[in-house]
Chain A
Amino acid sequence: MTNSAWETLSDQAVAVAGVVYFLALLAHLVEWASLREVAPATAGAGAAGAADGEGGTGSVAVDTGPDRGAERERRVALFGRLGLLLTGLACAVHLVALVGRGLAADPNRVPWGNMYEFTVSGTFVVTLMYLVLHRRFSLAWMAPFVTAFVLSTLMIAVIWLHSEVTPLTEALNSYWLVIHVVSAVIATGAFTLGGILSAAYLVKDRRGEATTGPLARVPSLATLDRVSYRIHAFAFPVWTFAVLITGPIWAHEAWSSYWNWDPKEVWAFITWVVYAAYLHARSTAGWKGRNAAILALVGVATLWFNFIGINFFSTTTQHGYAESAPAFVEPVGR
């Protein structure tokens, strides 16, 4: 296959992945809509169904209640499984898009030379981590949020960030880059999942424990807090490795100084400090729970701002992938 054929394949794969994510999201929305009607105990299902009045006949026989409840539960399970399957499929196509991107470049390279590629990689990791951790942490309830997040971020990537395949500028052409970016992207995926958990925590904290409807599916506050902590506890060392070890090593090789206070570095540091504060908050009386969850959300905000936003604000960044001109032709002072 030629390079441009790979590039086309990649672009098409992103589009297909987007469509499949959309279908997955739809499936999960149906699942949740069905949940709305299901009362947790079978005994209550008839009453809930009757109260909805959506039987249409106006006179709902009481003894059909449990049946309908069971049927709805089947529907919930069916669409839940369908959604998961579609998400898995989308994730596979998403991977094809990444591989195609890498093979389209001459010479072949890792698919993270610019913002578009970073975003596509980052969202891929979010999906992948969700799928991997799905069983272990019972994350089924997160499905609509994850698919909606990935879908909308992919759309942003395609509409605003898309750019052609180009060879890596030489400063980016280093195996440290591979290690640095792999770890940064993994941490980003994990922090994003952690952020969704923290958001759910805050919503649930506001609304109180629900016994019916979609909120009932969201695990208890204690569980949310614990799972969120465990994901953050995984992501934080990975982020430390990415931005405070491999990043500086690479910066030293490419730019002659291991820490330059470049805006990207500054924000990576800010993110790190905020998450360190999150970890501290969890073990500080008065900051536990709610405030810690807020800090986790602040962390995610700084993370994604650094990923995308800073390029539009900052006046100086050497992180060349944000712009098209070669990043290493520096003017001389004096």
Chain B
Amino acid sequence: MSTAPPDTRPEARERRAGELSPRELGRWLWRQLTSMRTALILLLMLALAAVPGSIIPQEGVDSVKTARWQDEHPTLTPIYEKLSLFSVYDSPWFSAIYLLLMISLVGCIIPRTFVYLRAIRAAPPAAPRNLGRLPDHTSYETDEETRAVLERARAALKDRGYRLRPDDGSDAVSAERGYLREVGNLLFHLSVVVVLVAFAMGGLFGFRGGAIIVQGTTFTNTLTQYDDFEPGQLFSAGQMDPFTFRFDDFDVEWQNTPRRGVLARAFKAGLTYRETPDAAEKSYDLRVNHPLSVGDTDVFLIGHGYAPVITVKDGNGEEVFNGPVPFLPQDQTFLSFGVLKVPDSPTGEIGLEGLFYPTFQLADGNPVTIYPNDANPLISMQVYTGDLGLETSSQSVYDLDKTNAEQLLTDDGKPLRLDLELGESATLPDGLGTVTFDDVRPWTRIQFSQSPGKEVALVGVVLALVGLLGSLFIRPRRVWVRARREGGVTMVEVAALDRSGGGDVVPVLEELVGELRTAVPTGTAGTTRDTREDEGRNDT
């Protein structure tokens, strides 16, 4: 561990770049890049670079909010766009830091692996000449023979799991333990690389998409069926798993809370699915936190809402629209907003925009919803006609383009509002036709995703954690014991060094010296009696 990082070598920093040959310059740069200090600075830069993305809305995280923010900040938007501030985590500058860190990491690990491979075979280094110079050392005197002391020290250190320097007849024992710390450290850093690669793979080859699916309908896993779809750069359509499912039934559990009103506590969607068109049918209750895996795709239940079933007939009595229209919940009361566009009506385009009240009650002639369950539903819609731009622009299904449209008014000039209870219909003015509210069906928002490499990433972080534990908690230390005959007594010096900089070796010393001074020697017969006497003396 104490292998000094290369950048601390004075010559590396004193020379100026101009004096170097290209090759030396390359080596100098490489050394700078793979130094611990550079890694440290890169780490801090990475942390700093991640900040803007948490404050500025991100396209990849929430495109709707981002668009809204951009509308509200017309001057900042172009600047931010140039700086990629709406997609910080894919931006060139974020990637640059990330890549430099990777290079630095790899450049750091590879040489260290070789250093380690050499170190693991090496014997502990010989004792320094003056053990008293080490910060943690102690000594005592004894009558015992030096050889006997050293023998016992070897045995005691071996018992504690130390590796010993082969006995070369010197006056000291050298011991070292904690070799695995370095393995832990290397494992950790290697695993970080694995995780980063796996994460990048997920981003490049994966996808994420979502669809709103109304109860009773069937979903076929093809791109056209998605409401939104975000593929990775290297995604190919061939990755789509050929499954289909039908959304059969929906269950929601409402809960009355004392102060926050009625909340949806749990909901589930009963699905019948086939993994491939000719596979057997299976069923699954999809719930939040309980995704379904089909092939490589994971299917998640994200949200739910109501889809009023609406029929629109044109002025000639022909049906021009009939079907469920998913409305978006605005808050936990499930007051929901929705839009219905009827482009192909011969008597004029019709656009409806308005609210759905699951359980309505009239207050001063206006509906309010009192319960999120669809016990007494009402739709309340305003009507537009004229050019709704339906043929030309590809807009959001929840956005009605009213720039060239004309709102229908009542006879006294107020905006017309159709309030329809279940089963009711209304006739539109100007011979445009009729609107009927037939039924309410639940919808669920289902999210689909493939994240290739997620298992690799998981294994990677788990290994990183294991390595980290090793690197943090295995204490590498060296212990030296030297025994010398001095003026008729044996001087025993013991010193210990913690090589991780985190440990306190004083207890280690005390414990070892305690044992050396009191243990009953078992070795050579000749010294036994003498030492026992020593011991008696030491104890007093």
Contacts and interface: CB of A to CB of B under 8 A. Distances in A.
Interface in A176-218: 176
Interface stretch (A39-47, A51-59, A313-321): A313-321
B77 to A, nearest CB: 14
Contacts of B302: 255-256, 328, 330
Which 3 residue pairs of A and B lie closest in terms of their CB atoms, listed nearest first?
A263-B54, A333-B228, A256-B300
Contacts of A260: 61
A282 interface: yes
B43 interface: yes
Contact of B44 (A229, A258, A277): A277
A326 B330 CA distance: 10
Contact of B457 (A4, A258, A262): A258
Interface in B258-312: 258-260, 263-267, 287-291, 298, 300, 302-305
Contacts of A236: 468, 472
A253 interface: yes
Contact of B258 (A164, A279, A333): A164
B298 A331 contact: no
Given A245-B462, A249-B458, A332-B212, A280 B39 contact: yes
A287 to B, nearest CB: 7
A233 B502 contact: yes
A105 B396 CA distance: 40
Interface in B446-460: 447-449, 451, 454, 457-458
Nearest to B502: A229
Contacts of B454: 252, 258
Interface stretch (A70-78, A125-133, A166-174): A166-174
Interface string A242-273: 00110011101111111111110011011001
A269 B461 CA distance: 13
A329 B396 contact: no
B53 interface: yes
B461 A240 contact: yes
A145 to B, nearest CB: 23
A187 B57 CA distance: 29
B89 A261 contact: yes
B258 A167 contact: no
B289 A283 contact: no
A316 B65 CA distance: 8
A4 B258 contact: yes
A4 B258 CA distance: 9
B58 A166 contact: no
28 contacts: A164-B258, A164-B260, A166-B257, A167-B255, A167-B265, A169-B263, A170-B288, A170-B289, A226-B503, A229-B502, A230-B502, A237-B468, A249-B458, A255-B302, A256-B208, A256-B302, A258-B457, A273-B47, A281-B40, A284-B37, A284-B40, A285-B4, A315-B55, A315-B65, A326-B332, A332-B228, A333-B227, A334-B227
A30 interface: no
A324 B40 CA distance: 39
B410 interface: no
Contacts of A167: 255, 257, 263, 265
B69 A170 contact: no
Contacts of B55: 263, 313-315
A280 B472 contact: no
A271 B468 CA distance: 17
B228 A253 contact: no
Given A166-B260, A226-B504, A252-B291, 17 more contacts: A164-B260, A170-B287, A249-B458, A256-B208, A257-B208, A257-B449, A258-B457, A261-B60, A273-B44, A282-B502, A313-B55, A316-B58, A326-B263, A328-B302, A329-B303, A334-B396, A334-B397
Interface string B376-400: 0000000000000000000011100
Given A166-B260, A236-B468, A280-B39, A258 B227 contact: no
B51 interface: yes
Interface of A: 4, 106, 164, 166-167, 169-171, 173-174, 176, 226, 229-230, 233, 236-237, 240-241, 244-245, 248-250, 252-263, 266-267, 269-270, 273-274, 276-277, 279-287, 302, 310, 313-316, 324-326, 328-334
A310 B458 contact: no
Nearest to A3: B258
B181 to A, nearest CB: 12
Nearest to B472: A233
Contacts of A324: 260, 332
B457 to A, nearest CB: 7
Nearest to B230: A333
Contacts of A314: 54-55
A187 to B, nearest CB: 13
Contacts of B37: 284, 286-287
B289 A174 contact: yes
Contacts of A263: 54-55
Nearest to B304: A329
Contacts of A256: 208, 291, 298, 300, 302, 447-449
A315 B332 CA distance: 19
A262 B376 CA distance: 38
Contact of A262 (B61, B448, B464): B61
B317 interface: no
A138 to B, nearest CB: 12
A270 B331 CA distance: 32
Contacts of A315: 55-57, 62, 65, 69
B63 interface: yes
B243 interface: no
Contacts of A273: 43-44, 46-47, 50
B290 A331 contact: no
A316 B267 CA distance: 24
Given A164-B260, A261-B58, A325 B44 contact: no
B501 interface: yes
B51 A329 contact: no
A192 B154 CA distance: 43
B329 interface: yes
Given A229-B502, A280-B39, A283-B501, A333 B396 contact: yes
A245 B396 contact: no
A135 B465 CA distance: 28
Nearest to B298: A256
